[in-house]
Structure 1
Amino acid sequence: MIFNSIAFLVFFVVVTTAYYVLPYRWRWPLLLAASCYFYMAFVPVYILILAFTIVVDYAAGHLIERSQGATRKRWLIASIVANVGVLAIFKYYGFLTENIEALVHGTGWTDYKIPELGIILPIGLSFHTFQSLSYTIEVYYGRQKAERHIGIFSLYVMFYPQLVAGPIERPGNLLRQLHLSFDFHAPTVASGLRLMAWGFFKKLMIADRVAVMVDHVFNSPEQHSGPAMILASFFFAVQIYCDFSGYSDIALGAARCLGIDLMRNFRTPYYSANVSEFWKRWHISLSSWFRDYVYIPLGGNRVVKWRWYYNLMITFLLSGLWHGAAWTYIIWGGLHGFYLIFAIVSERWRGKLGGLLGLGRVPGINHAVQVLTTFVLVDFAWIFFRANSVQDAFHIVGNLFTGLGGFFTTDALTFWSPLLGVGKGEMYLALFSIAVMELVQRIDLRQGAVMWVGARPAWQRWALYTGLVGTIIFFGSYYNTTQFIYFQF
């Protein structure tokens, strides 16, 4: 069951209504049953993987809390091994065997073959695995008490709004709230519905529209020249942001309708002035997970320089691998690690260069240059993230600047549209929707979009709501919709 479906909307209305009708003691069973139903709508048997994760980490949490000294660490390691083992089997087995076979075949043993498991990747496996792991790690460090109620703990691992694509919650936030009782509060529910509508707008009006253009180029890069590749790379940056942040908005909104506040996962990341800032504003729940549980335990920046660089690179390579079992994702992570290391190494001479150019005297221009440079670097790395293979990625990179004639013509849309396999109408719609999103984001940055809307007269607010919902319904039903990108992770 995907968010952008009629089935989900019916499911959401029924569950939310029943949640407030039922007494408090029946709410967690309702949400747990609803979450099981939601997940089993994909591949029913994979609910057993979630059950395994829940049992292992529930037991590990109690064993860690009751143990002393080295025994505590052994139980934590057992939890980590069990969870990573599930990932290794269901997500990375094919990738590992493929690369082992390639190495062996390189020695001349061409008949060597490792048996295939033929497993379909469970939806959201990396998300709920990391969320469950955060619990045992927090218990180990003494920041979280072991949860006594196995039903509430099960709900923590598989709370349906964020089960398949995050945000990756921590027990200190979500687990605590699952013990609370919430009365129906109309403004809170209305706020959740607005956030869901905004998420649907980003998904249906932007992500799904530009996906057609992106797929047209990235699925056959050898048939396209530089202008198409540049445009497709730009539109993929838009697509993945609107797709993933749109999902997060729907998840946060659905949870808010139940009185639960999930962590915010995005803060206008493409306005970042450097790559380090980008990772404080993009997929915040994952970047903070790797920071707290990988980067800092490795020593963070409290070590000698070479070890600092090593810690950064390992963290981002693992982040790339978390996203997918392919070299394209690993290279993407490695690029971000390289960006951060280069920023540290070059900090002094970049400061001198900025002084020579006089950028410090015009802070507005200086900031704009930094934001643009950061976006270009991030967008370049997205090429590897989206490409179907490493070969395709390098083909695109090697041909970005070929055939640029006509790219900057006065009638650019007439030139651009055929390159991306769409008509001018589709291009206008996509660009208009992006402009609307940018306007809302700028309002949100300056005074808060919710406060701005709340300050409008009632008729203006309802006109906005009606227009937004009507647009979503019309274009969502008229055009084909796609699954959320991050469901595959």
Structure 2
Amino acid sequence: MLFNSIDFAIFLPVFFILYWFTTNKNLKLQNTLIVIASYIFYGWWDWRFLSLIFFSTIVDYLVGIQLSTQENQLKRKVYLGTSIVINIGFLGFFKYYNFFLDTFVTSFSFFGIELNSNSLNIILPVGISFYTFQTLSYTIDVYKRKLEPTKDFVSFSAFVSFFPQLVAGPIERASNLLPQLLKKRSFDYDNAVCGLTQIVWGLFKKVVIADSCALIVNSIFDDYMSYSGSTLLLGAFLFAFQIYGDFSGYSDIAIGTSRLFGFKLMRNFAFPYFSRDIAEFWRRWHISLSTWFRDYLYIPLGGSRGSIILKLRNTFIIFLVSGFWHGANWTFIVWGALNAVFFIPLLLTKNNRNHIDIVAKDRLFPSLKEVFLMLSTFTLTVFAWIFFRSESLSMAFGYFDTMLSPTLFSIPYVFNVGMKKAIIAILSIALLIGIEWFGRRNETPIYLSQKPNWIKWFILFVFGLAIFLFGERQQDFIYFQF
């Protein structure tokens, strides 16, 4: 079920009424309703894949219980290994089987050996990368005795399948979400209004900003050889805001929806395009995934401790795995490697922790140096996004080759999709930058908790009207493919 669909517009208020007015006095019943609603939400795409979530839930629930009662270290490792093999096995089969098969066949063809192979017509379950990592974090934390496993199967099922963040994050930790499921929730009007505001803001970023940019971006990338270098540069620039508006918009809707029901999810974006270096960018972009890899891969490998060789190894591993997590395509791996190359000079010079606070924290405007650093970081990010957006490496290199031609200094052409759409895209990006800049000190740029009610509802009305007048209709979220 899409957040930006009529189906969800009907689903959400029905669930809200049932949640707060029929099951609010019984925690078990309320959590059961969450599970049922989450399975309906996910099964709206393809009910057959509900069996994967259910099986994964059973496995990790039982493994968690066994880990808590078992003292034999070898047996505990076996239980943990069982969870990892099953979860990664499902993910590997559905997402990477054809990639590994094609890569294997291609590698032999370099030596003149032609192998016959048959790729499978595998449908990728929506959100499998997200809920797989979520359940894995639970069993790993229980194994490390950082978390006590729950014996409440309904609450654990709600944790695994919680519909607001099920298919595109944030990737929640059991240590944050599970305790909230195990205690009674009370309706809070101000929190609900703030949640509704965040939903509307997320929808605005998705259907007005991201989807308006998508019309131009798709036309440019689909026929990149026919455009000037300046138009291709503009296409890459617009894609940067398309993917940000699309993905952070989903996170805003997920977090805001959760607030309606008394839950607080972790923050997933913290104004990443105001970053002053790549290290800061990755602390602010897709935070739930970045911290997941940090805690469960980078630190166990040794992190930034040890020799320079180990630091380089660990950095490349985490960025390459991050790229591969996004999809079974060499473009994502190169995208990850490129970000590692950008990051390593900061690590080696010990400048990777220079920018912890938000830029110009105590000032209205940034300094010239900060402007330069932000523009430099954004430029590097935009260039890396070209690999992320391209369908193949040959397409990515062809895009760069055409973009960096003498036509880079010509006037870009963007009105093939209509002047109105192009103007909406550009103006909405400008509005986004302005709102986020002046609201950057808050967790969400439209911070309303201390505002009078009439201001809250006025802002909701204005953004709701903008969505109705300028939004594109029912475009899939980019991260559904991951």
TM-score tier after normalising by the smaller chain length: over 0.9
The equivalent residue for 2:480 is 487
In the alignment, the residues of structure 1 paired with residue 162 and residue 328 of structure 2 have an alpha-carbon distance, to the nearest angstrom, of: 26
Deviation at 1:236, TM superposition (A): 0.5
Q: Does 1:468 align with 2:463?
A: yes
Correspondence for 1:13: 13
- Secondary structure of 1:117's counterpart equals coil
Q: Structure 1 stretch 389-398 or stretch 449-458: which is displaced more?
A: 449-458
Aligned to 1:44: 47
Q: Following superposition of structure 1 onto structure 2, how do residues 154-303 of structure 1 map, counting pairs within 5 Å?
A: 154-303=157-306
Q: Which of 130, 134, 141 pairs up with 2:133?
A: 130
CA deviation map 1:309-339 (0-9, x unaligned): 1001001100000000000000001111111
Identical positions, percent: 40
- Residue type at the aligned position of 2:414: S
Is contact 1:443-1:452 (8 Å) kept? no
Give the equivalent residue in structure 2 for 1:73.
77
Residue identity in the other structure for 1:30: L
| 8 A contact 1:167–1:248 mirrored in 2 | yes
Q: Does 1:343 align with 2:343?
A: no
Equivalenced residues, count: 466
Q: Does the 8 A contact of 2:228 with 2:410 survive in 1?
A: no
1:272-421 paired onto structure 2 within 5 Å: 272-345=275-348, 364-404=367-407, 407=410, 415-418=412-415, 421=416
| Contact map agreement 1:443 1:449 (CA 8 A) in 2 | no
Q: Deviations over 1:15-45 (max 9, x none)?
A: 1111001232310111100001111111110
SS in 2 for 1:416: coil
CA 1:184/1:376 → structure 2, altered by over 3 Å: closer, same or farther? same
1:423 to partner: Cα distance: 2.6
Distance 1:456 1:136, change over 3 A: closer
Is the CA contact (8 Å cut-off) linking 2:204 and 2:463 kept in structure 1?
Answer: yes
TM-score by length of 2: 0.92
**Of 415, 418, 430, the match for 1:423:** 418
Q: Deviations over 1:127-150 (max 9, x none)?
A: 000000000011011111111011
1:58-102 CA-partner distances (Å, limit 9, x unpaired): 111122222222322222122111111111110000100111111
Which one-letter code corresponds to 2:275 in the other structure? Answer: S
Q: Which deviations, in whole Å up to 9, do the C-alpha atoms of 1:423-480 show, x marking residues without a partner?
A: 322222112211221222122124676786566665554333212111212333xx34
Go from structure 1 to structure 2 and tell me whether the alpha carbon gap of 1:15 and 1:235 turns closer, same or farther (over 3 Å shift).
same
User: Given that residues 188 and 257 in structure 1 are in contact (C-alpha distance below 8 angstroms), is that contact kept between their aligned partners in structure 2?
Assistant: yes
**Root-mean-square deviation (Å):** 2.0
Q: Is the 8 A contact 2:68 2:149 kept in 1?
A: yes
Change (3 A) 1:450 1:434: closer
**Correspondence for 2:91 among 81, 87, 91:** 87
C-alpha distance after superposition, 1:278-329 (max 9, x if no partner): 1110000000000000000000011111101100100110000000000000
Distance 1:407 1:39, change over 3 A: same
Larger displacement relative to structure 2 (452-461 or 174-183): 452-461
Separation in 1 of the partners of 2:178 and 2:417?
Answer: 46
Aligned-pair CA distance for 1:481? 3.5
Residue 104 of structure 1: how far off its partner (Å): 2.4
- Paired amino acid for 2:88: V
CA distance in 1, matches of 2:314, 2:444: 38
Task: Give, as a single letter, the amino acid of the residue that structure 2 aligns with 1:336.
Answer: N
Structure with larger RCO (C-alpha < 8 A, sep 6+):
2
Q: TM-score by structure 1 length? A: 0.91
For 1:311 and 1:185, the matched residues in 2 are separated by 44
Residue of structure 1 in register with 2:359 after alignment: none
Contact residue 301 and residue 308 of structure 1 kept, 8 A: yes
Q: Answer yes or no: is the 8 Å Cα contact 1:328–1:387 preserved in 2.
A: yes
For 2:100, give the aligned amino acid.
L
For the structure 1 residues 143 and 219, does the alpha-carbon distance in structure 2 shift closer, same or farther, using more than 3 Å as the test?
A: same
1:210-234 per-residue CA deviation (whole Å, 9 max, x = no partner) reads 0011111111222222111100000
Alignment-mate amino acid for residue 78 of structure 1: T
- Where structure 1 has 5 or more consecutive residues not aligned to the other structure, the ranges are 352-362, 409-414
The Cα of 1:396 is off from its aligned counterpart by: 1.1
Which amino acid in 1 is paired with 2:85?
V
**Secondary structure class of the residue paired with 1:445:** coil
Task: Give the stretch that moved more between structures: 58-67 or 311-320.
Answer: 58-67
Instruction: Name the counterpart of 1:97.
Output: 101
The equivalent residue for 1:359 is none
Structure-2 change in CA distance of 1:416 and 1:36 (3 Å)? same
